[in-house]
Chain A
Amino acid sequence: MKRILLYTLIVTSVVFTSCNKWLDVKPAGQVTTPDLFSTYGGFCSALNGCYFKLKARDIYGEQLTMSYIESLAQLWRADSYGRPVDYELKQFKYDSDNTRAAFKSIYAGLYNVIAQANMIINALDTYGDVIKDPVSRAIIEGEAYAIRAFCHFDILRLFGQLPQGGTISVSLPYAENVSHESLPSYYSYEDYVAKIESDLNKAESALKDKDPIFKYTYFYLEAFEASASDDIVLDDDFHGYRQHKFNYWAIRALQARFYLYIGKKEKAYTIAREIINAKGADGNPVISLSGVADLNAGYIACPTESLMMLHVYDLVTYTPSLLASGSIQSTSSHLVITQAQLNQMFETQNIAANNRYRSVWGKTLTDPMGTIYPTLMKYYHQTGVYTTNYLDFNKKQVVPLLRLSEMYLIAIETTNDLNEANTLWNTYKLSHNLLLSGNTFNSLDGVRAEIVNEYRREFFGEGQMFYTYKRLNSPAMLWGSAPIVEENYIPALPMTEFNPNK
């Protein structure tokens, strides 16, 4: 009897210990974290996931590029019925339910991308050995750090204190872990900036000389799959499409933007010039302003000169009703401007020639009275047109995040040499189909004043204007009704946020 009980106990304990594995059930539709990162493909999938998240409408798919962020910069005409959130954002009503919800979704969206990047960064330490190819590893590591820096930088630009001339200081959380146990710590402006700088450096050094862009040109890396006749063959398709990912030059461009924002103009200048001067694998400039070619080909968002652009395949399922087509009523959910505003924006420009005026702004949308409301065509392309050109869509279905134009503007703004400024300005203008005559500056101050207007013209609908005003602590915004005070530049963090260190 006792023996039987004993045997039973022994058998049960043996069965139990072997059960642990059996109880580890893996779902079919999902993958557990260790399983995902047990392969190189899993790392690629997780990194791609970051781009899926970035193109979400909550953030760069719409609200941080086309709608809310531009309303903060007073760029859109928005009425309280059709676009209540934009309307309240224009009033800087940061305590209303609408704006709180909007900022919450932006904030949550950015930190969610950061969490995805952090998962990859942390997984590289533990499981990184499964990635054998050093180029692939550099891509994964560099891009993950770049994404983390990029999102944190926009958190800083949107929610942080004024980079200069402010009186309010704001601490912000910098997330490096994904856990409910160790919550992100808050950092002062200086420490936060240092964190971003460090991540940018990590991204840069990871990709330096390893990024496929050092071996191939952007053009080839975009075309390797579409044109079979090309003699270029990538062993790994993950190495392609560098313009749609945070490649080495995008990281450099982000550094230039970052240094400009925090006021380190020399560094910004050096990097911007480096990008402008950089030579590609074929000996030609690695990237060049190509506004004319792009706009004539119907690539309104200037993909050719984009150092980083998001591919949003379903862009035109939502942009027409948001920006570009349909009909305008007295209350409308469209984001448009008036003809007068458009004219004002291009006041100093030769609108007959300026291809931004001519191509980027549609002028066919009217209200029932026949009044024309100019529409932004950057995110619009004709659907239903049959095309075999796969590349075509990679250029049309995009939201640019970093463009060479910005590098030119940074260089022009940060140079201490008026001649250099004028030279760069002329090159820049040429890409806008503008004649060179009469477009030069007399002083560096004049350069800087015009740069602000050029940011508005060039990056309309790309979410840069509010940050430009904020960087300059501008007391007024074009089309804004009231003087801008410091509080207007600093939206409150969502109410759910708290500083775990306090």
Chain B
Amino acid sequence: MKLFFRFKLQRSSFVIGLLMLLAFLAAIPGYSQTKQSLISISLKNAKLTQALKEINAKTGNMILYKVEEVSKEPKLITVNLKEVSAVQALESSLAGTGFTFTLRGDQIVVHSKSKAQQPPQQETQLLRGVVTDISGRPLEGIAIMIKGTTTGVATDERGYYELKVPRSAVVLYSCLGMKSREVTYRGQEEQNIIMEDEAAEVGEVIVTGVFNKSRESYTGAVTTITSKDIQAFRGQNLLQTLKNIDPAINITVDNNLGSNPNVIPQLTIRGNSSLPMSVEEYNTGLKTNVNTPLIIMDGFEISLTKLMDYNDEDIESINILKDASATAIYGSRGANGVIVVITKAPKGGKIMINAQAGLSLEFPKLSSYGLLNASEILELQRHVGLYTEKNPAVMGDLIDYYNEGERAYEMRLKDILEGVNTDWLHYPVRTGASRRYNVRVEGGSREFRWGTNISVNSNAGAMKGSKRDNLNAGFNLSYTYGKVQFRNILRVGVSQGYESKYGSFATYAKMMPYYRPYNKEGVLIKDFMGLMEKYVRVPNPLYNATLDSRNESGYNDLSNNLSIEWDIFQDLKMRAQLGINKKINESDNFLPAEHSNFTYYSGDNFFRKGSYSYGIGNDLSYEADVVLSYSKRIKEKHQLYTGLNYSIQNTNSYLYNFIVEGFTKGTKPFLGNAMQYQQNGMPRGTESTTRRVGVTGNINYTYDNRYYGDLSIRIDGSSQFGSKSKYAPFWSFGMGWNIHREEFLKNSNVIDNLRLRASIGQTGSQQFSAYQALQMYQMYIGDRYLNYNGSYLMALGNENLKWQITDQINTGLEIGLFGGRVNGSVDYYLKRTSDLLSSRELPLSTGYTSYIENIGEVKNYGFETALNGYIVRNTEAGFIWMVGVKLAYTKNLISKLSEDIKKQTEIYREQNVDISTLFYEGYAQNSIWAVKSLGIDPSTGVELFLDREGNITTVWDPAAKIYCGVGEPTYRGNINSMLRYRNFTLNMSFGYYWGGQVYNQTLVDKVEVTIDEIGRNNVDRRVYSERWMNPGDVKFYKGFSRNATRASTRFVMNDNVFELQSASLQYRLDKGEFLRRAKLRALTFEANTSDIFYISSVKRERGINYPFAARAGFSITLTF
């Protein structure tokens, strides 16, 4: 009885679980395995119980029997059957025994022959239910049939059906374009069904943006993110959300920029495969986005900014293509990985309205700041002698005039006693309240479907006045006429970013707490007396914030994508797409006359006060492509897919910028109010046109669903490269093996999915300036010779310039265990980028210093692994807990450099620069170089260094810098947890990384500060407790001195972090009296938070120019 019970639970839980969790689990590879009906069995003199157990194991528990009864059977069974049905196997096994069997739907009941056979219960009962799609919307016109009969009904507009069903029948739910479902009727009264789209089923089909491939035979490394994932792990913006889900996506954490909503982060997939053109450029922070992946939305390229600003509610799924096999179809653009975004398509049916409103709050996180209060800083200043010593620069009679140390000290002490202790950090920050609204309406018939959505998202940052507003609207039409389907998507996006008037947060962290921002009457004080010199004034940063300044930038864009799909005949399909995108950027930066920048404008310059910098740009791009695909199954075992794609793209953009000045006091921030153009200023502009054509061919062959191979070839032509190599080929080859389909695993109860794949290929990257390769003349601007103009040769062109080539190897293993309970995957990759574009030095006698050539090589290798499983999967009780762990390891190293870069590196190394990134072969691109420190000498309190020869010295020599680590974590990962109980879902995403180093600049800026610095800026409280004071002190920080601390290994620290990236709690109500009365189909409440806690091995101030923020939000979604 025990066994019987167990298997019953399993069966039913499987069905219910499938219904309820389909949407969630669909993403997990290998879950949706269909049971093989054919089994092989070989037994010799086995007991019947053993035989039945064996058959059960291979058929997925199809057989019901009572163990006590069957175990009494004396006959030993010998069978040897190959590829037979369960029924056949059972017939052979039961032959000659006292048992027989009866079919009940898809179950087989084994019972004793002697027992009188019960006639099948033929009485009918009423079965009713609602058929919906994954998102819970009712489906109209679904055919519901009793299998093997012609009896059936169709669902009504509410998706509702009623059907008289005989006991133990199989009910078939089907509809063109959707996956059919079968359900065994067991007397239940209600049977709700969720049906999935056949083609667009997320996870089963991989949309690469060019071809749609079945996951079963896909050789590429890809991560699929569903709309549910996006909802569950939402971060500050979509890019953060992606990072929360897949650690292979790396977003560089910028400690300076914090949680500024207007900053577009640096995003990379699988490391940095390009080098910047020069060492100095890299160090001065002009890091170009040479490593940004290509982003494709519905087949068309979009920018990273656009992805960040896009309405994530409109996204159906995102595929992240990582290796050559996946990205070779993007040829010259694929080397940095590809993010393929698929937006929601209207599903047709009765008008459905989905409305969502959300509110979220951003709280500044200031706990990493440990600044001194007013009396402490005053005491420290006095302690280091700032108020007693005379300024040595001022001599003679003037000495008392300039040095008012003692008086200044007295004055401040008096203020402090009166209670002045200003907490400057709290002035520029706030709890930012962000709102988001999203409305989606869709409907139509099966042939003609439409959908429209509009979303408004106002993202307020943690600094006052800082926000980013996004408006996205889309109109989606699709029309099916016979074998042709037309689809058109029109999108409008408006984004505007506003910077805080309060300026840099760092200014506030530096302000002395003994200054009072307002006088006793509550009037703002414009500036304060410097340390002790009356004539040195410290401006009150709050003053500029009161002015009517403007610093904003934004863009409007409009795009239209039209696609036509034509099923030419059975296996041959064609799709043609045309996309046009127009974008207008604008930036405004206005400073009124009263701004402190203009305080010292006098005389002739008086009327130059106030300035307005205005920029306007325009991008126009069009892109067209045609895809022809042919797939054919030949003789059952051979599956062939071929695809051919032709694409063409043209992008044109320009940007103009100019500055005007002279806004008298009180003038409105309007360009026309300016008095003149900027003195000696002139309009500036940039322009670029890039063009690209490409042809891609793809062949995929699968043998017996077991072995498969994939070959892609792309030929790309681009205007960005030299006239001698306008075209370049890219390719990839991949192989895969579905081990779980092999004989020896076919019937395994443990492993239900095991797949091995490997790929090799070449891709390129195109993130360079448009006219890199051309030899060009530039006309002189703002200059003349007599009354002539002239032009000069800008640089030596290189007509041989080629694409950077990235070779990639990837091997991956996917495994699914215990009927989808546990899933795991591991991918190992090696990426080698050669022919890196880099400047090469020339003798000056050529007239130029360098030219651009293909030199240099960078390697990236690493692995990505994921494991997730159900800790609890009790679908009957509605209780599910799933945990997933992901880990990515990336190692980056420069394997070859041009002589020019090597020379630049040597020159840069010796420069008197504190902390620098140097490029050396064999080291990572963003390695940290600093002088080796031996700590603080306890007897003198000065730092000891190791010089180039290995001697101990007190002299900091920049040339003695050594390698001290990589400024980027080598291991990154996350832990995601999904806990569901009935209608509640709790999602949590923890992130962690380790293996990288960081140069702790805050310790230098705030703790190991010079005496003069203490006179100018507020400092960290560790200055008090942890600095060397007296001989014999063994301290980490040196004694007080006027010499600035130079970059040494002392401040290079291991950067290990564990944080809670996001947490959300969802309550979804999709049935019940309340909904019916409110005429709602579903109701979802969601609360989410992000960046709640953060533990780091590095103690430092976080968010220098803009604080980091934690988020908490709430949203409600109504579906009508």
Contacts and interface: CB of A to CB of B under 8 A. Distances in A.
Contacts of B726: 20, 23
Nearest to A20: B726
Contacts of B693: 15-16, 19, 22-23
Contacts of A22: 691, 693
B630 interface: yes
Contacts of B841: 496
Residue among A51, A178, A394, A498 with max Cβ neighbours from chain B (10 Å): A178
Interface string A1-29: 10011001000100110011011111111
Contact of B791 (A23, A36, A500): A36
A173 B845 contact: yes
A23 B721 CA distance: 9
A181 to B, nearest CB: 9
Contacts of A137: none
Contacts of B691: 22-23, 25
Interface stretch (A85-93, A113-121, A439-447): A113-121
B790 A112 contact: no
Contacts of B843: 173, 183-184, 496-498, 500
A387 B70 CA distance: 121
Interface string A166-191: 00000001010011100110000000
B770 A1 contact: no
B902 to A, nearest CB: 13
A285 to B, nearest CB: 24
Chain A interface main SS type: helix
Nearest to B720: A25
Q: How large is the interface on B (under 10, 10 to 19, 20 to 34, 35 or more residues)?
A: 35 or more
Interface stretch (A42-50, A197-205, A337-345): A42-50
A104 B794 contact: no
B777 A32 contact: yes
B717 A16 contact: yes
Contacts of A51: 785, 790
A115 B719 CA distance: 26
A24 B646 contact: no
A479 interface: no
Given A16-B717, A36-B777, A46 B790 contact: yes
Interface string B795-809: 011100000000000
Nearest to B851: A180
B628 A4 contact: yes
Given A31-B776, A49-B780, A178 B796 contact: yes
Contacts of A456: none
B779 interface: yes
Contacts of B786: 241, 244, 311, 394
Contacts of B780: 49, 52
A225 B788 CA distance: 12
Interface string A78-122: 000000000000000000000000001001100111111011000
A33 interface: yes
B354 interface: no
Nearest to B680: A317
Given A20-B726, A33-B777, A45-B790, A178 B785 contact: no
A313 interface: yes
Most buried by A among B654, B693, B787, B847: B847
Nearest to A112: B847
Contact of B844 (A25, A108, A244): A108
Contact of A115 (B654, B688, B848): B848
A331 to B, nearest CB: 15
A188 B310 CA distance: 67
B459 interface: no
Given A27-B687, A30-B778, A51-B785, A183 B846 contact: yes
A494 interface: yes
Contact of A112 (B568, B685, B848, B851): B848
A48 B845 contact: no
A53 interface: yes
A393 B465 CA distance: 53
A212 to B, nearest CB: 15
Contacts of B779: 29-31, 45
Given A8-B628, A30-B777, A116-B847, A49 B791 contact: yes
Contacts of B853: 180
Contacts of B785: 48, 51-52, 55, 244, 311, 313
Given A8-B644, A29-B687, A180 B792 contact: no
Interface in B693-750: 693, 695, 715, 717-719, 723, 726-727
A371 B783 CA distance: 38
B723 A111 contact: no
Given A33-B775, A175-B846, A494-B844, A24 B787 contact: no
B695 A16 contact: yes
Nearest to A226: B787
Contacts of A29: 685-687, 778-779
Contacts of B302: none
A111 B849 contact: no
A184 B840 CA distance: 17
A197 to B, nearest CB: 19
B12 interface: no
A138 to B, nearest CB: 18
A184 B847 CA distance: 10
Given A27-B770, A111-B846, A180 B793 contact: no
B842 interface: yes
A49 B851 contact: no
A32 B847 contact: no
Given A52-B780, A180-B842, A115 B646 contact: no
A184 B796 CA distance: 14
Contact of B796 (A20, A180, A237): A180
A256 B718 CA distance: 53
Given A19-B693, A45-B790, A180-B796, A31 B777 contact: yes
B689 to A, nearest CB: 5
A317 to B, nearest CB: 9
A26 B774 CA distance: 9
Interface in B748-789: 770-771, 774-780, 783-789
A183 B851 CA distance: 13
A458 B779 CA distance: 36
Contacts of B568: 4
B849 A108 contact: yes
B849 A496 contact: yes
Interface in A301-346: 311, 313-314
Contacts of A184: 843, 845-846
Nearest to A241: B786
B825 interface: no
B874 interface: no
Contacts of B1056: none
B572 interface: yes
B690 interface: yes
A237 B785 CA distance: 13
A207 B551 CA distance: 59
Contact of A23 (B572, B718, B789, B840): B718
B789 A48 contact: yes
A30 B848 contact: no
Contacts of B688: 27
B848 A27 contact: no
A115 B846 contact: yes
A12 B646 contact: yes
Q: Which of B723, B775, B790 has the most CB of A within 10 A?
A: B790
Interface of A: 1, 4-5, 8, 12, 15-16, 19-20, 22-33, 36, 42, 44-53, 55, 104, 107-108, 111-116, 118-119, 173, 175, 178-180, 183-184, 225, 237-238, 241, 244, 311, 313-314, 394, 494, 496-498, 500
Given A4-B628, A19-B648, 7 more contacts: A4-B572, A23-B719, A30-B778, A48-B789, A52-B785, A180-B840, A314-B783
11 contacts: A23-B717, A24-B719, A28-B687, A46-B793, A49-B790, A49-B791, A49-B792, A111-B845, A173-B843, A178-B846, A238-B788
